[in-house]
Amino acid sequence: MSDQAYYITTPIYYVNDRPHIGHAYTTVATDVLARFARLRGRPARMLTGLDEHGLKVERAAQKKGLEPQAFVDSMAAPFQDAWTHLRCAPDDFIRTTEARHREKAQALWRRLEEAGDVYLGEYEGWYSVSSEQFFTEKELLPGNLDPISKKPVEKVREQSYFFRLSQYTDRLLAWYDAHPGFVQPQGRFNEVKSFVAGGLRDLSISRTSFRWGIPVPSANDHVMYVWLDALTNYMSALGGPTEPGSAPLFDQFWGENAEITHIVGKDILRFHAVYWPAFLMSAGLPLPTRIWAHGWLTVDGEKMSKSLGNFIPPEPLVDAFGADVLRYYLMRELAFGQDGDFSHDNLFARYQGELANGLGNLLRRMVASIVANNLGGTVPDVTSLPNTEEENVVIEAAQAAAKKTAERLTAVAPQKALDAIWEFVAVANRYVDRTAPWALAKEGNTERLAQVAYTVLESLRWLSIMVWPFMPDKSDMMRAQLGLPALSPAAGADLWPAEWGQLPAGTQTAPGDALFPRFDKKQQRDIRVKLGIDGDKRKDDRARENASADKSAATPSKSTAKKADGNAIESGAIEFEDFLKVDLRVGTIQSAEPVKKSNKLLRLLIDIGEPEPRQVLAGISKHYAPEQLAGTQVVVVANLKPRTMMGLTSHGMVLAGSDEQAFSVLRVEKPIKPGTRVS
Ligand code: MSP
């Protein structure tokens, strides 16, 4: 556990528009990382807030017929409320129109002036109000468009103060060399370095043609450039810049010993990785530790915008699914640092598959069913029972998941952290399938039953901790059902799971509501209607739902068989991204055996590169003898919802095709590593 102070920030949002899920993505990611640091017992602080000055905001106010201050005041609550609804828990919320910020932005200006880095000149060039940024003629897109927002730029000619950015080229390059992790991901760092290595021009840092900003201390007819004003928020919220000893928060979280992470979108990296460090160098202040540029969230493949009608506010999604589900989805869907797509279909699919059938099912079948019905609702005492190989697999998987999740969150890879957690959910669910506690109860094998129950309950305890940064409410619910108090992190106490077997025997469990209640088709449709995504898509969605409901997890269904006769190939092309949603893997069949009392099913154990082989049930016993399959390689649909048949759960599907004459399982032509993705 580290006692190094941890400071993490979101960008401050322009208030010209209401919050949408793109903003939510940044804020949730930052909140997840802050919560993780708190859980590890670190002194941690998270900041978010609003960027309320500048031409863009001034014009948005004019459009509404409001004075800028009245307008920004009206916008603060929607942002604050959105973050509260999303269970984001910043320690502070800064607005750049607050006096505490104005004073500090002016203090920073004075420091730049004292360093001899500010001079008066005249700016002539192009300004983009949408990005609040100057561009050179060369940088513009044809038609004088801002290369980032693709909106028109304006010709500006006015008196302006300049910052001697050109003097910082070498110092910045030297800093980058000495701090290889300063900007992440690495590819973006390379872009920043080559931009700086190309030589920097002095930066215009004041405007005289409008008034909505912080006055330049020595020249009240100038207002500070909105980015210089805005970047200072990271410090002003701590009471800096100021002399050591006069602002405790500033000393603690902006001292040389603090770890400072700015989470930003890729579009605003240059401001954070070039201008901000140069201002800080000039002012003689410490630099942040790391700037993490994440990718953009598109909606059904398109950039989110009001004009395209695909602007998605977070609240209705929170109302429909709950805050934790949206948090989970946003963190799971995008690889941090890369762009990714938001789609309601994926949200539903992840909800039903990973949450309801994965984690929710594990909790429900153990606490509400096995433990309640057979063990009097109490955590059994298994201290005298030696673990078998089956328990050891689960314990090792728990330890591996905790280690990987912590490493990945430390490395700002929330998506990969969730992968590690859900690998463990799968191991625990498979353990339940394999050990079949219902059968143990029937047989009266109480010792073994107790051991299985304890192993799963303890797994759930580990999971309740690992999911906390992502889903704090669901963690609380899980713990309440396990008979444990909610986690309450405090500096100095590392709560991350480390030791197996800490769930006390005798704890009274408390089965409660389903963690993720399954939605039936009607409920799904109602949600779609509420979210306004029913419209034209409704028919398509229904068709898709029906098709997927038809498809058996094990047997080629009638509808697939029909397709083979040629005419029934579904019309309508799908996007490549849609195809990628199907996770196809090469698998080696390790064993095959008939399922008792079934004349169709074979139980296959298939190695698809996971710690444990998967159990897949395939309706092929009429066509294949088990020994024809064992040892051969096939293609497995790996992300299909688990399905239970004849008391066994199938975790995937083997690809096969048939016509009137033959039935054929698709084999892999040359041996290839199990788990290799097929595309
Ligand atoms: N006010 C500036 C930031 C100043 S920080 C000193 C600003 N504001 S913004 O509201 O336009 O954007 C704030 C953040 O939201 C940026 O990091 C931006 O990348 C992020 N996002 C806005 N739309 C987004 C998506 N569609 N997807 C992901 N993040 C996006 O820039």
Question: 627-653, pLDDT tens digit by residue?
Answer: 888 888 999 999 888 888 888 888 999
Residue nearest ligand 1's atom 23 by CA: 22
**Ligand 1 centroid – CA 80 distance (Å):** 16
Grade residue 533 by pLDDT with cuts at 50, 70 and 90.
confident
Domain 6-294 is of which CATH architecture? 3-Layer(aba) Sandwich (3.40)
Q: Hey, whose CA ends up nearest to atom 24 of ligand 1?
A: 22
- The average pLDDT across 7-27 equals 96
| pLDDT exceeds cutoff 90 at 363 | yes
**586-601 per-position pLDDT tens digit:** 999 988 999 888 888 9
Q: Please tell me the distance between residue 215's alpha carbon and the centre of ligand 1 in angstroms.
A: 25
Tell me how crowded residue 386 is: count the other CB atoms within 10 A of its CB: 7
- Classify 537 as helix, strand or coil: helix
Confidence of residue 560 (pLDDT cuts 50, 70, 90): very low
CA 549 to chain centre: 28
CA–CA dist 364, 428 (Å, integer) = 13
pLDDT of residue 542: 40
Question: Within 6 Å (CB) of ligand 1, which residues are found?
Answer: 11-14, 22-23, 25-26, 51, 230-231, 233, 264-265, 267-268, 296-297, 304
Calculate how far, in angstroms, residue 24's C-alpha sits from the geometric centre of ligand 1. Answer: 10
- How many CB atoms within 10 Å of residue 566? 8
pLDDT over 90 (residue 558): no
Query: 339 C-alpha to center of ligand 1: Å?
Result: 14
Q: How far apart are CA 161 and CA 202, in angstroms?
A: 10
Mutate to test the pocket of ligand 1, among 20, 26, 93 (most ligand atoms within 8 A of CB): 26
Smallest CA-to-CA distance from 68 within 85, 48, 84, 54 is with 54
Exposure string for 134-168, b = 16+ CB within 10 A, e = fewer: bbeeeebeeeeebebbeeebeeeeeebbbbbbebb
DSSP code at position 268 = G
Residues 355, 479 contacting (CB under 8 angstroms): no
Give, in order, the Cα–Cα distances in Å from 25 to each of 352, 412, 421: 21, 14, 20
CA distance 526 to 257: 52
Cis peptide before 241 (omega within 30 of 0): yes
Look over the chain and give the mean of its residue pLDDT values, rounded to a whole number: 91
Per-residue pLDDT, averaged over 378-383, amounts to: 97
Tokens of 409: 């969150």
Which of 5-19, 98-112, 440-454, 626-640 bottoms out in mean pLDDT, i.e. has the lowest? 626-640
Q: How far is CA 133 from CA 18, 94, 626, in A?
A: 21, 22, 67
Average pLDDT for residues 468-492, to the nearest whole number? 97
- Given a cut of 60, whether residue 531 has pLDDT beyond it is yes
What does the chain come to in residues? 679
Who has greater pLDDT, 599 or 335? Answer: 335
- The token pair at 642 is 């688990």
What pLDDT sits at residue 20? 95
DSSP 238-254: TT-S--TTS-HHHHHHS
CA of 65 to the centre of ligand 1 (A): 25
Q: Per DSSP, what are the bridge partners of residue 604? A: 592, 616
pLDDT of the residue at 670: 83
CA–CA distance from 324 to each of 79, 251, 264, 328, 480 (Å)? 18, 34, 22, 6, 16
| CA gap 498, 408 in Å, rounded | 16
Report the C-alpha gap between 573 and 481 in whole angstroms.
46
Q: Residue holding tokens 């995008």?
A: 334
Q: What is the pLDDT of residue 612?
A: 80
Distance CA 372, CA 457 (A): 12
Tell how far the Cα of 608 is from the centroid of ligand 1, in angstroms: 39
Q: What is the DSSP letter of 104?
A: H
* Pocket probe mutation, ligand 1, options 10, 12, 13, 310, max atoms within 8 Å of Cβ: 13
Q: How far apart are CA 44 and CA 259, in angstroms?
A: 9
CB atoms within 10 A of CB 506: 9
Would you call 669 exposed, middle or buried from its count of C-beta atoms within 10 A (0-12, 13-18, 19+)?
exposed
Q: What is the mean pLDDT of residues 435-462?
A: 97
Average pLDDT over residues 111-117: 98
Q: What distance in Å separates the CA atoms of residue 375 and residue 453, rounded to the nearest whole number?
A: 9
pLDDT value of position 534: 64
What pLDDT is attached to residue 576?
Answer: 66
Instruction: Give the model's pLDDT for residue 575.
Output: 66
- Give the model's pLDDT for residue 307: 66
pLDDT attached to residue 572: 56
Residue 13 CA, closest ligand 1 atom number: 10
Q: For residues 606 and 56, what is the distance between their CA atoms, to the nearest angstrom? A: 57
Give residue limits of the domains in the chain: 6-294, 341-533, 548-665
Looking at residue 571, what is its pLDDT?
Answer: 45
Contact call for residues 7 and 50 (beta carbons, < 8 A): no
Q: Please report the pLDDT score of residue 609 as a whole number.
A: 86
Give the max Cα distance, the chain.
89
Compute CA distances 306 → 301, 303, 311, 353, whole Å. Answer: 15, 10, 5, 31
128's torsion region: left (phi>0), alpha (psi -120 to 50) or beta? beta
Fold of 548-665: OB fold (Dihydrolipoamide Acetyltransferase, E2P) (2.40.50)
- 3-state class of 501 per DSSP? coil
DSSP 386-416: PP-HHHHHHHHHHHHHHHHHHHHHHTT-HHH
| Structure tokens, 504 | 């006390």
pTM: 0.80
pLDDT digits (tens, 9 = 90+) for 412-444: 999 999 999 999 999 999 999 999 999 999 999
Question: Is residue 64 within 8 Å of residue 39, measured between CB atoms?
Answer: no
Q: Using CA positions, which residue lies closest to atom 16 of ligand 1?
A: 265
Across 307-321, average pLDDT: 88
User: Ligand 1 atom closest to Cα of 297?
Assistant: 27
Pairing of strands 219-224, 206-207: antiparallel
Residues of the chain with pLDDT > 70, as a percent, come to 93
145 DSSP β-pair partners: 141, 152
Q: What percent of the chain has pLDDT over 90?
A: 74
Ligand 1 atom nearest to 276, measured from its CA? 6
- Those residues whose C-beta lies under 8 Å from the C-beta of residue 451, and which sit 6 or more positions away, are 380, 382, 385, 387, 388, 391
For strand 663-665 and strand 653-654, is the pairing parallel, antiparallel, or unpaired?
A: unpaired
Give the pair of three-digit tokens for residue 362: 């594990």
Residue 564 pLDDT greater than 80, yes or no: no
Does residue 565 register a pLDDT over 70? Answer: no
Distance of alpha carbon 174 from alpha carbon 181, whole angstroms: 13
Please write the tens of the pLDDT for every residue from 42-91.
Answer: 999 999 999 999 999 999 999 999 999 999 999 999 999 999 999 999 99
Q: Where are the beta strands (DSSP E) in 343-481?
A: none
pLDDT at 554 over 80: no
Contact 221, 185 (CB under 8 A): no
Q: Rounded to 5 degrees, what angle do the CA atoms 628, 630, 634 make?
A: 90
> In angstroms, what is the span from residue 593 Cα to ligand 1's centroid?
55
Give pLDDT tens digits for 600-630: 899 999 989 887 889 999 999 888 888 888 8
The residue ranking higher by pLDDT, 548 or 480, is: 480
Q: Indicate the CATH number for domain 341-533.
A: 1.10.730.10
Q: Counting atoms of ligand 1 from 1, which one is nearest the CA of 298? A: 26
17: Cβ contacts below 8 Å, ≥ 6 apart: 60, 306
User: What spacing in Å lies between the alpha carbon of 57 and ligand 1's midpoint?
Assistant: 14
Cα of 13 to ligand 1 centre, how many Å?
A: 6
